[in-house]
Structure 1
Amino acid sequence: MENDVLDALEDIGYTGPMLEFEALEGAVDGGPKSIEYTELVAWISTELKTLCNFEEHVHAITTPDDSSSFVMEVSSFLKELGCPHKSLTEGHLSERLKTKDSRLLLLEFMLCELEAARMIKVKKPNLSDGMQVKLKESSTANDLKTMLIALKFPKPPANITSGMLFGKLEQKVKEIVSKAPAGLVGKPLFNGTLSGKQWHTLEGIQQELHDEYKMRREMLIKRLDVTVQSFQWSDRAKSQEDRIAQIFQNKRAQFRVQPLVELSHLLAAREDLAVLEKTSNASVRKNTQTSINKVIIGQVPDRGGRPSEQQPPPPEMPSWQQRPQ
């Protein structure tokens, strides 16, 4: 077993004096009363503590009189390590590590555990981070939290149900709305009741509109990208490519392809949303009219360009003729 322990010490990169067979044999013969033996056990336990995040490790003795405390620390450390060898963890303290085989067994077991811990550390370096459960707050929970804070609700207890919470919210909102001036909130645009089938149909319509406007946004953003790229073709703009890209990308990053309209917006819509104002209305034209609209363009020459008025192009190949004799 001494040779197995020496091979294991070399494999884990141990560089101490116990790499010599005579030194290891003498330390094992001394057992818990040997300072060299306890230093080797303490070094292995320190390595395991670092890799396995243990709270304690074994301390080496300074005098042979400390052997009993060393055996107690070893037994406690082995229990934390989950040692299956009962001869090392059970029985009277004076009987543990009494024989040479038990001392070599302790070294062999701890070295095997150290090799396994290092292999796990290499293959899964972030194992401790991966086992941490991080709760991510959903957008719905964030909105509900904001609503509770705005309504000055205290923190709800952990055992409250969703029905009770929304019931208290509804009661509080009705109380605030009743005290608000008339017309501040407005009447809902839709206050009817739909069946499950109707909600399913409405959800399908909303999904179709979502896909349609997503496609429109993609087209408009693509046209914008192509237009900006075409401006960069000129020789004057080529020297300003970095500046143009910096200015444009800051604005471009704000555009979203996915529409943010959901069914909840339908339930929250008020009656004023149904009022359609003409683009030719005086209040609207006040902000959109320009001085160019007051200029009347006179008669201009007809430049043609209508395909129906043009002569067809000549044939690309001459007509076939018979070869002369």
Structure 2
Amino acid sequence: MPLLLGVPGAEAFRALGTSGEPAPIAGNHWGSAPVIVFLSTELQALQILQNKKRKNSQLDKNSEIYQEVQAICDTLGVPNSATSDIPLMLNQVESKVKDILSKVQKNHVGKPLLKMDLNLEQTEQLERINDALSCEYECRRRMLMKRLDVTVQSFGWSDRAKVRLFSHLCPVGGTL
């Protein structure tokens, strides 16, 4: 049995008999509650660790990430691997892209807009501009969605629409 010094509920855990029932702890009618809490937290921690190990190297063949990487592999003509090892698949994609780029003409991509690298201050300024434009885009998107919503709602504001609505809601000769 592991040593459980300083762990809440450890004395109740040690007091478990061979029958699985907790022995009464002096003046504590809820002797099993700390044990249950302790064991459930240990189980949760173990599940988290196992999930992290599994997610780091391999994913389910049904997972969304695996399917996306597999779609990239299919598009590039990378042969399907027997395992679902994402890093291995990405390495294959990288080598395939490098191979394809080596066959492409040098002037195929075009010249870069910037002839030199940006310094830290310029990069930060560029990020601020991007953030401002993204914020404005989001505002415009919300405004257009609101306009669309109001336009759709306005179709129900006419007298004809109200008559149709009430005719569907109320039976003939009935009232609301």
TM-score per shorter chain, which class?
0.3 to 0.5
- Which structure has the higher relative contact order (CA within 8 Å, separation 6+)? 1
**Which one has a bigger Cα radius of gyration?**
1
After TM superposition, the score normalised by the length of structure 2 is 0.46
After TM superposition, the score normalised by the length of structure 1 is 0.29
